[in-house]
Structure 1
Amino acid sequence: MSLKNKIKSLFTFEEEEYEYYEEESVEPEPSPEELQRNTDPQNVVRLESVKSTSKVVLCEPKDYESAQEIADNLKNRRAVVINLQRTDHHQAKRIVDFLSGTVYAIGGNIQKLGQHTFLCAPDNVDVSGSISELVDEDLK
């Protein structure tokens, strides 16, 4: 053997000395649920699943005890229109004070729509615009 071949054999590997094995990975078959999840993109929402959940509740409380029912509607993310025409002035003031605190706590807003009418809206309802109070001096 020549010196050249000896040096070459030191730096090269002979293929006969090494055996190569390829491992085959066995993947379990996906279940039908996984197949369905893989075919439906995660960011697509079906229109059938989207329902209108916004509701407006009309209330005409007679006394202060009705304020808790109105507050429960606000906590359930429903806008409430309150007509206080048939409520005693003192009771109406207490109701508006209680509902103002409730609306503040849930991050909503309260607006006066008329002389005895209020709109209480939770944070998921956007209220735009305002209603100006009419002042007729001819009627006074």
Structure 2
Amino acid sequence: MGSVRKASAWLGLVEDNDERYYDDEYAEGAESDDTWKTDPRARVASQAVPEDRRIATVSPDGFRDARHIGELFRAGTPVIMNLTAMEPSDAKRVVDFAAGLAFGLRGSIERVATRVFLLTPADTEIVSGDPAGRAQDGFFNQS
């Protein structure tokens, strides 16, 4: 079917014969089965997230939620603890627990913001986005 005929059928000026539309190069080498074939040049990204690329975010209500933090960290998952909703005394207990957990499993604990902490396992590297490491004459220098 020519391009003028295709356009006319799309606009509704002529009756469409329910034919499949093919470009000339595909019409010559068309396969007999009607299965959809993916272009071999196209790459489909995997939807599954590898285990080593997960980060857990936990906002505990009390010290009783510390066990969940410990189980995640023991499994090798980095954990962000948001303690802003907790009472100060319970938050201190959770931080002490997390510090002991990080020490015992050779991980690290880092304060991210006020009452927000990051627990990282031993095999995880933290890359800082600190502006102190940038060159002074960089792109964003406004002086």
RMSD (CA atoms): 2.0
Larger Rg: 1
List aligned pairs for 1:14-33, cutoff 5 A.
none
2:50 match: 52
1:89 match: 88
How far does residue 68 in structure 1 lie from its aligned partner after superposition? 1.1
Secondary structure of 2:104's partner?
helix
2:115 match: 116
TM-score where L is the length of structure 2: 0.54
Which 4+ stretches in 1 moved above 4 angstroms? none
* Structure 1 residue 67 corresponds to structure 2 residue 66: yes
**Rounded Cα–Cα distance in structure 2 between residues aligned with 1:102 and 1:130:** 26
How far does residue 53 in structure 1 lie from its aligned partner after superposition? 1.4
Tell me which amino acid in the other structure corresponds to 1:119: L
Return closer, same or farther for 1:98/1:128 CA change in 2, 3 Å cut-off.
same
C-alpha offsets along residues 22-64 of structure 1, whole Å, 9 cap, x if unaligned? xxxxxxxxxxxxxxxxxxxxxxxxxx9xx72121000000100
Return closer, same or farther for 1:90/1:108 CA change in 2, 3 Å cut-off.
same
Tell me which amino acid in the other structure corresponds to 1:61: P
Q: What is the count of residue pairs matched by the alignment?
A: 83
How far does residue 128 in structure 1 lie from its aligned partner after superposition? 2.6
How far does residue 125 in structure 1 lie from its aligned partner after superposition? 1.2
1:77 match: 76
TM-score where L is the length of structure 1: 0.55
**Rounded Cα–Cα distance in structure 1 between residues aligned with 2:112 and 2:130:** 6
1:126 match: 125
Secondary structure of 2:125's partner?
coil
List aligned pairs for 1:3-18, cutoff 5 A.
none
Structure 2, unaligned stretches of length 5 or more? 1-45, 132-143
Q: Percent identity?
A: 22
**Rounded Cα–Cα distance in structure 2 between residues aligned with 1:63 and 1:129:** 30
C-alpha offsets along residues 64-103 of structure 1, whole Å, 9 cap, x if unaligned? 0111110110100000001011000000000000010001
**Rounded Cα–Cα distance in structure 1 between residues aligned with 2:129 and 2:98:** 19
How far does residue 104 in structure 1 lie from its aligned partner after superposition? 0.6
Secondary structure of 1:61's partner?
coil
**Rounded Cα–Cα distance in structure 2 between residues aligned with 1:130 and 1:63:** 31
